[in-house]
Structures are given as structure tokens and as C-alpha cells.
A and B are shown apart, each in its own frame.
Chain A
């Protein structure tokens, strides 16, 4: 059955059923999303839907039980509570386990509820998807097709309430586009990609998406396999974000307290070159990762993780903070479907001063990495081993040269942080919410022929 009750009311209703000895936390969400894809100038598909989710976490004597469902149906919610209660009986006690306790930090008070996406019509959405495809096809004669041209938008509400007195709610929307043009030359095909995301449709930069996607595909035509050697690599911002995202993943409470991080014992030590400062700042509205609260309902806050190369703090949720003898850094990440983990909301690097060409100008022999793959298979965040598939362009005598592909770059996360030679001044917020620049790293193993 449809449940149109306000989420905070629904959450309080469930909370009322908590037993005296229970720490009880309810997390609810509801949303709508639409994706429109275009192909050959026509709408290929329109996918829309409503989704609901509920998660209930109960802790008794340090034993945690959790259950979740993709529904807000009152009967289902009742079952979810019973399941969570049953599950906790099988967990073993951990004195630090428990829900978040309010810590007095005030939320940043961001207004993230721009209703612009709610006014979108099917025609608006289709027009953008069709336009993106058309512009890719007409921008360069080597673009012979577009594998996918898509528009997506969504609107969601979230509410979290607990017996420790936390009661937060939020709602907001976002929209995104993505396009994959195909470039052909002779018998060779290259596929490119670019996308953008924003809270408002008019903040999407379609010109840039088209030019980046087309460049991504055409620039790789004629690419060859490079020779194997140690070189200086320049990571473009999205690649740098993937690299540093993995590093920060190893700086989160869960990994650290469980001894699964190469940086676990290194708090307060120099782990990177002095030019590197990394901040997780969800209070910055410019990032799409901005939020008023974390996944346990504590206020979002600015955390300096690496300060001029020194590991200044780990990220924690309530549980890992208690275990580490400190407190939550407001870094709980979760939806109603899972228990809170620890992660970044809006990672940001402190930019350098030189633009990308100036970075290249200092490199006699190197490679510019435009994209990587196999991050999930080739990076071990426990040992720090780093090896990923890479493609991009050669750098010769300070200038960009011929494209290369079918290569890998390898080092370790620990070494790469110390081998950074320069951080670019080309700061941008990526669709993922990460604020990043290009980064040059010396002495990386490039494997090809």
C-alpha cells in the first residue's frame, strides 16, 4: 500500500515502539528518479520510478541487529523492526557498539532543496539527451556514432531518528548527463565519455560535456602501446581523484582500527610531500557531496585529513571513533539499506598554482593519464600495491604528444604520496563531488611493450 505520511512522523512512530533497554535508530527515504536515453535522434528509453527504503538498527548491550526493506508499507516496517530485534540476538557484544549520541556540533545550515528538478517535463529531459547526441555527431567528422546519451534526475527525502534524541530530515534533487561518442578511423574505434552533474538543470555545462567527450574519443585514435619504463605521470583530475580517494579510503576508521590500512600506525607522521593538503568538507555548497548531516544524523563538518603532508586525522563514525578513543568526525556514510560505514563526503585538494601546460613544460619524458581502469582489481588498499590499466598521451620535452593505450601504471600508494612532484592549479569540482586538480608523480612504472 502507498504510504503518504511525512517521513519524520513515520520515523517517530516506529521509535515509539522501542523497548526500554534498546538503542533504536530508524532511517527512512523516499524518492523519484527518471532517466531518458536518446539514440539516432529519437528517444530510446524513458525509465522512471518511485523508490522507498527503510532501515532499522537496534543495539542492546553492545549487540547490534539491523534489517532493511525497499518499502514504507506499515506491515513491512513492523517486520523490519522484528527482524532487527531477532538479528541482534546472534551478534556478539562489543562495548563500543551503539548509535550516535548528539555531540553539540551545529549543522552548517545549507539550503540544498532547490526545487528546479521538480519542474522538469519529459520533453525537457528528452531534448537534452537528443541534443547531446546530435552535437557530438556534428562536432567532428570522425565521430560515427554515440553508444549512449542520457539524462537523469532525481528527488529524494531522507529522515533519521533515534532514541538518543537525533531527529534530522533532508530533501533535495540533482540531475546529470552522460554521453559516450564513438570515434572511427580506418578499422579502429575508440569510445569516449564525459558527464556532468548538478543540483539544478541550468548548472549543467553541456558545451563542456560535448567537447570533453568528443576529445576523449578522438584523442585516442591511432594510440599505440608504449615501452616499459619508469616515468613521471600527470594524472588528470578525475584520475587523481580515484587515486586519492583510494588513499583516503585507507584513512577511514574501520580500516584503521581493524589493522587493514598501511597508514594505521602513522597518525601525526609525514606520509606525503608537503605540498599535499586534503580536506573533507561537506559544508562547502560548491561540492555535490555537500550535506547538513552525516549518515548517523550528526552535523557535517570540515575535516583536515592530510595537512601539508602530515596525516592529521582519521575519519570516524560514532562506533570507530569510540573504539579509537576519540569521537565521530561526522563521517558516517549510509543509506537506509545498510549500517553506517565511514567515508568521505566531499574530498577536496588544496590547489597549486600552475596550469596543466605548465606542469607538462617541466617534464622531459612522461605520460599524461587521461583514464584508468581496473581500480577495483589492481589496487589493494591493505598492502598499498597500486597497478591499474591506463591510457592517455605521451609527454615529450615539455609538450603533449602521441596517444598511447594498453598499458599499466604501477607503484604503491605509500610511495606515490611521497613521489608527488607538483599539484596543479586547475582545481575543479567533479560530478562525484570531489574537488581535484591534476597531479604530477615521479618514478611510476609504466608497463607496455
Chain B
């Protein structure tokens, strides 16, 4: 394994001086966040390489706090003068506190890249070939596949976080994503099938991962849906296949357990620590340390080591997720959940990899125990209103369950439920845990990579937003 250790993104003395400048107007705490992001992508569409794109972003965000007020300024100019200007802009917005001397920076500020094969060392031709291979595998499935598009993207994000408490930590994150979208054409019109693989890993991903099998799954999904009938309208039991619906928990309760929303009274889970909020079979974890999963980070974007946080244990709410400012005002340790989209953004409480742990039931028994319901093989994105707990998510592959058997495929539609109700209504939990597809979680206009997972499970009742009566 060729682990790669690099020194700090910016010189220690330069950072130390910038922190001092940032606190010079009476700031009580200051932070410098430096980010260098390089990404590249290849699009394969209509049977040919359509484009290759590369992108580079380098800059710093400087944050100063006085009491509950925060000043923040970002700049792409990392010279002494550029950083000084941004530090003064941030300081001007958070001034007049009792002057506090910053602590000297500790730590190395160095960062370790865990990728075995850095994507930048792989030829562009090889990446293009990967998309071509994926396209070919999808098209071979059936002549009804009329369109295939494949997107490969890679990103390397080096960060450095330093603050007036002496934190001086770095991280070097490499992520790879490959997605395939198929369109199938039939008598009833067009249908789509999508599959995505993504990990916090280097190009060695493709030594193990079968991209052709993934392409075939996406193609079959589109073909299957050509025969789909309209989804039901109304309430039914819903069985969700392992790894297909971790987004349920992300939306049903994940966002509501973010301390910033809780603190402002915008969460149905406020003041409920220690209460039974879910079926006693449910243990919900957010874990930023989880192998090479999509939401995995070594440190969060406030320099705090990522960790495994149990949020719900055997149905009892045990903790919320925290960032620096919320944990400080509550007098507790942060939980490694302070994240931001880029150096141009203020961090806030965000999930990493959020999942429900295994139950004890065989997945086949969950289906056979269901007389009438809906079987969801893949959920798409979702959205939640944290104040009411109402959330929606889309079914991108689903079937009817009739007399304990999976039967007719269903057209796409949304499901809607209420987070606190659904948690209580997880009535069967399988023993076949799997992580799901990589996701991008949006909050207040910022997107960050997140993972999710769950075993096969049954919710007693959700509203299916179809058109069939």
C-alpha cells in the first residue's frame, strides 16, 4: 500500500498570522479552512465520448466568532495579502469581544491519502475505456435499450483546518463515482434505469468492482419498468430491499437529529433524548469512519476527528449530531459532523454515513409475511420538513406484493410518511444489512457526499403516491 502523506496545504506561520489578524478586532475564536479540490469527469453518451472536463478550485474561508455572532469571508487569493484581507473582512463582522490570544498551532497539519491508486496517475484513455465498457454492457441487455449515458468522475479534496484553539489538521480525500443511465423504449413510452457506484477510494475500485454487472442492472431496471403499471394511491405496508432505502432514515429522522435544527426548535425530535422514539428493534448510527464508504472522512471540515455516533439505540434516542458551534454552546464535545460544501461555505451539522443496524429476521420471511403491499428495490432521493417530520422519497424500482410474493412492477412515484410515525412503525427488520448507493445531501443550499444503509425491512404503513385506486 502506497499511503501518501503530504505536508500542510499552507505554511504554518502564514496560518498563525492569519488567525491573529482575524482576532485583532476582538474576535474570541477564529478558524482558517483551506481547500484544494481537483476533479475530472468523462461523459459517454449516444455511443461516444461526449466530453472530458477537468476542474480546479483552491481557496480559504476564514471564520471569526464573538459570542453567538459569526463573521466569515472567503478568498481564492492565498497570498499573505489575500488572506489578510479576508481575515479583516471576517473580523469586521465579528468584533468587540474581549481580546483572546490564540493558542499556538499544534499538530502537523499533514494529510494522508488512503487511495492506493491516485486517479490522477491513471491515463485519461483508461477512464474513457471504462465508460465505453459500461455502455456496451448496458446495450447488450436488450434492443429496447435506446439510450445509455455513462458518467465517470473523480475528485481529490485536500483540506487544512486551523483554529485559535491550536487545531492544525489536514485530510486528503479521494472519491470516485461511476453512474449509468439507461432509457428503454416500449409501446407505453419511455422508462429509465439508473445505477451508481461511488466510494472514498482510488482507482483500485475497478480492480474489484464489476461495472458491467452494474450496467446490466440499470438496463434491466429500465426494461422491467416498460411493463410497469401505475403505483397504488393510498396507505399500504412497504418492504424495502437491503441497501435500497437508507435514505428513509436519512430523511425520516437523520435531519431532525442535527443539533442546529434541534436548537432552533425546527425539529420534531427536540427534547426527546432518552425517550423511545422508534421501534425497539431500531438502532441508528452515523459513522464517518466507515471503511471507504461515500460519506467517510478522516476529519470533518472543522478539524475534528470523525467518529461513530449511535443516535438511536434499541429504539431510544441517545444523541444528536453536533458541529463546533453547537457543541461549544452546549458545553460538550463535537461529534465530527461539522461539514461544508467548499471553502466558500460556513460549516454546519451534517450526516456522514447513516444506517440502521441488522435485525434478526430472514429477508424472505419479511416478503412472505406480507399479504398485500409494495416492495421497493431502489429508492431515489428524498426531502423532509424537519418541523413536522413529513418526508417524501421517490421509488425508482418497485413492485406489488400480493399474497406474500413479489409480483407486478410499478411506475415511479413518491412515498410520503411522517418520520416519528415511521420509526415506530418499523415492524420487521432483516438480518441482511447492506450499504446503499452514494448520495449528495443538500441542506441550506450546500451539498455534501453521504452514505446510507439498512437491512431489508417492513414499514407497517406508508402513503404511496401513485394514481391507481
Contacts and interface: CB of A to CB of B under 8 A. Distances in A.
A392 to B, nearest CB: 13
Contacts of A385: 411-413
Q: Chain B CB within 10 Å — which of A80, A260, A382 has the most? A: A382
B69 A45 contact: yes
A119 interface: no
Interface string A361-377: 00000000000011011
Contact of A258 (B147, B231, B416): B147
Interface in B241-274: 261, 264-266, 268
Interface stretch (A19-27, A293-301, A404-412): A404-412
A46 B190 CA distance: 48
Interface string B59-73: 101000000111111
B48 interface: yes
Interface string B431-469: 000000000000010000000000000000001111101
A395 B207 CA distance: 59
A92 B49 contact: yes
B93 A383 contact: no
Interface stretch (A65-73, A154-162, A204-212, A284-292): A65-73
Contacts of A232: none
B314 interface: no
B133 interface: no
A258 B46 contact: yes
Interface in A137-186: 144-145, 147-148, 180, 182, 184
Interface in B43-84: 45-46, 48-59, 61, 68-77, 79, 81-82
Contacts of A2: 77, 79, 81-82
B37 to A, nearest CB: 9
A51 B86 CA distance: 12
A387 B388 contact: no
Nearest to A405: B390
Interface in B264-309: 264-266, 268
Given A259-B147, A377-B392, A408-B392, A90 B125 contact: yes
Contacts of A132: none
A275 interface: no
Contacts of B56: 68-71, 76, 79-80
B213 to A, nearest CB: 23
Interface residues of B, number: 85
Interface stretch (B12-20, B98-106, B376-384): B376-384
Interface stretch (A98-106, A424-432, A441-449): A441-449
B87 to A, nearest CB: 12
Nearest to B342: A70
A115 interface: no
Nearest to B418: A406
B327 interface: no
A42 B69 contact: yes
B234 A228 contact: yes
Given A373-B383, A378-B392, A49 B465 contact: no
A46 B52 contact: no
A411 B77 CA distance: 51
B380 A65 contact: no
Q: How large is the interface on A (under 10, 10 to 19, 20 to 34, 35 or more residues)?
A: 35 or more
B445 to A, nearest CB: 10
A51 B344 CA distance: 9
Given A51-B344, A67-B53, A406-B416, A411 B72 contact: no
B265 A407 contact: no
A339 B54 CA distance: 11
Given A92-B48, A447-B234, A408 B413 contact: yes
Nearest to B37: A70
Contact of B465 (A42, A83, A220, A378): A378
A220 B264 CA distance: 19
Nearest to B123: A90
Contacts of B412: 378, 380, 383, 385, 387
Contacts of A411: 467
A210 to B, nearest CB: 19
B413 A410 contact: yes
B382 A374 contact: yes
Interface string A250-283: 0000000011101000000000000000000000
Given A260-B190, A447-B234, A383 B411 contact: yes
B58 A145 contact: no
B424 interface: no
Contacts of A383: 189-192, 225, 411-412
A41 to B, nearest CB: 11
B54 A87 contact: yes
B386 interface: yes
A327 interface: no
Interface in B224-248: 225, 231, 233-235
Given A50-B75, A378-B465, A388-B414, A373 B385 contact: yes
Contacts of B351: none
A101 to B, nearest CB: 20
Contact of B57 (A69, A258, A405): A69
Given A39-B68, A94-B48, A52 B76 contact: yes
B51 A191 contact: no
B465 to A, nearest CB: 3
B49 to A, nearest CB: 5
A50 to B, nearest CB: 6
B387 A48 contact: no
A189 B264 CA distance: 12
A6 interface: no
Nearest to A86: B124
Given A48-B89, A182-B387, A374 B392 contact: yes
A331 interface: no
Interface string A209-242: 0000000000010000100101000000000000
A148 B443 CA distance: 13
A16 interface: no
A122 interface: yes
Given A47-B72, A445-B233, A449-B235, A69 B55 contact: yes
Interface string B83-119: 0001001001110000000000000000000000000
A397 B346 CA distance: 49
24 contacts: A45-B93, A46-B72, A47-B72, A51-B76, A68-B55, A68-B56, A71-B57, A87-B124, A88-B52, A144-B265, A189-B388, A258-B46, A260-B147, A374-B392, A377-B394, A377-B414, A380-B412, A382-B191, A389-B414, A406-B418, A408-B463, A410-B233, A447-B233, A447-B234
Interface of B: 42, 45-46, 48-59, 61, 68-77, 79, 81-82, 86, 89, 92-94, 124-125, 128, 146-147, 183, 185, 189-192, 225, 231, 233-235, 261, 264-266, 268, 344, 346, 380-383, 385-388, 390-394, 411-418, 444, 463-467, 469
The 7 lowest CB-CB distance pairs between A and B, nearest first, are: A408-B465, A377-B394, A46-B93, A378-B414, A374-B392, A389-B392, A387-B413
Given A44-B68, A92-B50, 18 more contacts: A40-B68, A49-B73, A49-B344, A68-B56, A71-B76, A80-B56, A145-B264, A145-B265, A191-B388, A338-B53, A376-B381, A378-B465, A383-B412, A385-B411, A387-B465, A388-B414, A406-B463, A408-B463
